[in-house]
Structure 1
Amino acid sequence: MNKTGQIIMPTKSARTVSNVIFFFGIFLGLTLAITVIWAALEAQTYFYTGATYEAFNGLRCPLFLTRSETGTITATFDNPGGQEIQPYYKVETSGLLARRFENQFTLAARESKSVQWTVDANDIDLGSFIFVKLNILPDANHWTRQALCGIFVLNVPGLTGEQILISALLVSLLAIVIGFTLLNSLPDTNASRNLGRAMQALGVSTLAAMLFAFIGSTLAALIFSVAAILLVFIILRFAVA
């Protein structure tokens, strides 16, 4: 207790609380990133045929859905060339009764157009996933292109996948920032400085893993996730020692 009668939390207890908050944010963030990576990798395995195609970057899928929810898939086609094209595309979804459909439309020069379709619980396969494959036949500007996406389906009644994702992301970010800020406010020692730098690297790696996972850069997200997991073990070993 200090001269004003205020109770001062012991440094060790304060450090423990800060670590708990920080690592809660880290584990939640890594869980989000790894789940999205998992869904993307499962999609590649699910539709694997051995053939390789030019990547199509216009496919947008929800990262998470709930079992009672209908998700909207959007494919945006661009025609940067100077002549009209007629993209012909084929869509395949997962599920016991896998849906397949195809369509063709006209796209004027330097025009962009989006097409949409929906997925729901009927498209679930492998327990908790929905997979979508989009193939686009060759046109004047491209060879055959392909895009895949994997959606992780949660059994959380009353909420949407987007609500769960945003809530978990905000909690993760707040916990990481608050935990790290509290740690930096504690008395500084050589050991705490080294630990602080390692935890800062862990926080950055986790944020990068989430960012790349959410924008569909699976390889980069996987690299940062592995780096973050290694840093967790290094920090825990350092803390125990």
Structure 2
Amino acid sequence: MSFLQRYKAGIGLGLYAVGIVIGLLFAILVVWADFEAYDFQAGLSVEQKTKGFSCPLAITSNESGLMTAEISNNSTRDANATVRMMHTLGSALVVNQVEQRLTFSPGQTHKLSWPIQASDAAWDRFIMARIYVVGSMPPRSTADYCGILLINSPFFTGQQILVFTLALALVFVVVGWRMWFVSNKQPAIDAEKSSRLMIAFAALVALNIFLSINSEWLASGPLLIVNLLLAVAVLANRLNKSTFS
């Protein structure tokens, strides 16, 4: 392999690694936010998870956001429900609590929303929230929670920054892999094996991001640990080869 080819292959591998690191950092921050929110105002036993509850993944320092919920009466009778929303108010120990009493006709859905802003974040990092719904319609009691990441940036919105971050990670991974694959002059079998491993690792990181975005931190957390261990193992193997080559 010529010096230029090795140089291009090295640059490609570096770009791929940067994309992987960006993806893992994204997953870490989103999982961390949900992990912190897991125990926030927990304790009441409920039957199910509240369906239709959603929060923004992140907001910026000059941005306000909305947490929303759709509460439905799927029974054939009139019903009533009490909805309690709690979220941090600048500290994990200071809680803003809003309670609403709703009445439903059969099949009716109430759409609710609660505003949040950067000053609500605990430790200037996360806004933690939990919703409880207790009603006369089945299921009788539900709950859910979310963690919202605060990004200390006066520009753009949290969603725009997250989308840009994911797009950047994808570009680095794809361009880096392609540059490495074209410039790498290993034997065909070895190159194909390495390429498949790179694609598989990128797919695991993508799955990690997907799970974290969908607030499945109980699945995303262990997978994140696996991905970090794999990254360390690959780096150690690479350094070992460089040392003894």
Q: Tell me what 2:209 maps to.
A: 210
Q: Deviations over 1:133-175 (max 9, x none)?
A: 1111142211321111111101111221111111111111111
1:229 and 2:208 matched: no
Matched AA of 1:220: A
Instruction: State how far apart, in whole Å, the 1-side matches of 2:112 and 2:216 are.
Output: 23
* CA distances 1:28-77 after superposition (whole Å, capped 9, x unpaired): 1111111010000101133343x432211321101111121111110112
- When the two chains are superposed, the root-mean-square deviation of aligned CA atoms in Å is 1.9
Equivalent in the alignment of 1:99: 96
Distance 1:87 1:213 in 2: 30
For normalisation by structure 2, the TM-score amounts to 0.87
Give, in whole Å, the separation in 2 of the partners of 1:106 and 1:172: 47
Q: Contact 2:73–2:108 (CA<8 Å) still a contact in 1?
A: yes
- Corresponding position of 1:120: 117
Q: Secondary structure at the match of 1:185?
A: helix
Which residue of structure 2 lines up, in the alignment, with residue 17 of structure 1?
11
TM-score, L = length of structure 1: 0.89
Show the counterpart of 1:198.
197
Deviations 1:175-227 (A, max 9, x none): 11111222222334244333323222210111001111111111222232222
Q: C-alpha separation between the residues in 1 aligned to 2:105 and 2:42?
A: 33
Corresponding position of 1:41: 35
Match of 2:148 among 151, 158, 172: 151
**Contact 1:93/1:132 (CA < 8 Å) preserved in 2?**
yes
Separation in 2, partners of 1:183, 1:164:
28
What 5-or-longer segments of structure 1 have no aligned partner?
1-7
Displaced runs of 4 or more, over 4 A: none
Are the aligned partners of 2:51 and 2:71 in contact in 1 as well (CA < 8 Å)?
A: no
Match of 1:4 in 2: none
- Of 38, 45, 55, 1:52 maps to 45
- Opposite residue 59 of structure 1, the aligned amino acid is F
- Cα distance in 2, alignment partners of residues 23 and 15 from structure 1: 12
Task: Could you tell me which runs of 5 or more consecutive residues in structure 2 were left unpaired when the two chains were aligned.
Answer: none
Query: Helix, strand or coil: the match of 2:95?
Result: coil
Q: Is this contact kept in 2: 1:195–1:235, CA < 8 A?
A: no
Structure 2 residue aligned with 1:29, among 16, 23, 32? 23
Tell me the residue number matched to 1:74: 68
User: Counterparts of 2:110 and 2:103 in 1: how far apart (Å)?
Assistant: 9
- Structure 1 distance, partners of 2:196, 2:237, is 12
Q: Give the counterpart letter for 1:212 in structure 2.
A: L
Shift of the 58–9 alpha-carbon distance from structure 1 to 2, 3 Å rule, reads: farther
Inter-partner Cα distance in structure 1 for 2:42 and 2:99: 20
Conserved? CA contact 1:128–1:152, under 8 Å? yes
CA distance in 1, matches of 2:222, 2:203: 13
Contact 2:80 2:137 in 1 (8 A): no
Paired AA for residue 27 in structure 2: A
**Partner AA of 1:210 in structure 2:** I
More strand by share: 2
Distance 1:89 1:79 in 2: 13
Aligned residue in 2 for 1:185: 182
Distance in 2 (CA, whole Å) between partners of 1:14 and 1:60 is: 44
SS of alignment partner, residue 29 of structure 2: helix
